[in-house]
Amino acid sequence: MDRDLQPLFAGLNLDVMRLPPYMPGGAAPSPFFTLPAELRLQIYELVFTPFHPLDFPLPPSFLRLLPLLTCRQFYQEARLLAFACVVHTLDCTRITNVRDRLRSMHPALAASIRHIYVHTSITSFYDKMQPLRYHFDHTRDPHISLDTLTIMFNRPEEDQFSRLYCVQNQDMVLDAIWYYKNVKKVILWNIRFRENLSRNMPGSWFRVDEGSESSGPLWRLEMTQFADYSWPPWRHHQVAQAGEPKRWL
């Protein structure tokens, strides 16, 4: 089993999983549940882990979770691992969508989520993502810690946004994501005008589309480094290094 998934099963009683399955009415148990408990967990991981996580468009999350409806025992054993492996698609077009989606989940299931995919426009990005960020910052329940956050921006028509407007919005997006907490990797799709961005964020760039002569290529940016909150603010750090007295700026 993936080492990152093992904490989800710290409180799982494997001895209970090793007991013979209970079948009402004397029905014959499924041969699957006679397999060793450790082997069943490895099978669950294979069932719910996507083979091609970057294939788009992604199907709705509930379709990838349908195997949990096989039977009650399957659900009880696999639910946490399933929610950790599946890429959950979220609709951020309305501020209340994320809040309502998480509130509808059992807290243990929501807290086990490790991968989220968001398809949105680049305008008003901060306002759309703020409800989700509260859960990344662990200031609201359920606390969520992600392995990957994938954000797919809409491809605007070439005459819909001026170059300056698009670059300014993308700069604000990069600024916002730089301060995300408890996210190991952020993947941004459909970044435009890379050469005009004023924010040189650490990360890996990949060309995904040649685009047109006027708009240029589209890029994917993968970020794995974020703000270190243990450091003093950047300006205060510079002042301290220069030996000047600190002051609020």
247 is a domain residue: no
Residue 22: its pLDDT value, please?
Answer: 53
Total count of domains within the chain: 1
Residue 2: its pLDDT value, please?
Answer: 53
Tokens representing residue 183 in the block: 């996210």
30 is a domain residue: yes
183 is a domain residue: yes
Residues of the chain with pLDDT under 70: 1-28, 51-57, 93-96, 156-161, 211-215, 229-249
- Does the CA dihedral 48-51-53-57 come out positive or negative? negative
**In sequence order, which residues have a C-beta less than 8 Å from that of residue 204 and are 6 or more positions away?**
221, 222
248 is a domain residue: no
Tell me the residue range of the domain where 151 lies: 3-242
166 is a domain residue: yes
Residue that the structure tokens 């093992």 belong to: 6
10 is a domain residue: yes
85-122 per-position pLDDT tens digit: 999 988 776 666 777 888 888 889 999 999 999 988 88
Residue 104: its pLDDT value, please?
Answer: 84
Residue type, 25: G
Q: Rounded to two decimals, what is the model's pTM?
A: 0.79
35 is a domain residue: yes
**Are the CB atoms for 210 and 246 separated by under 8 Å?**
no
77 is a domain residue: yes
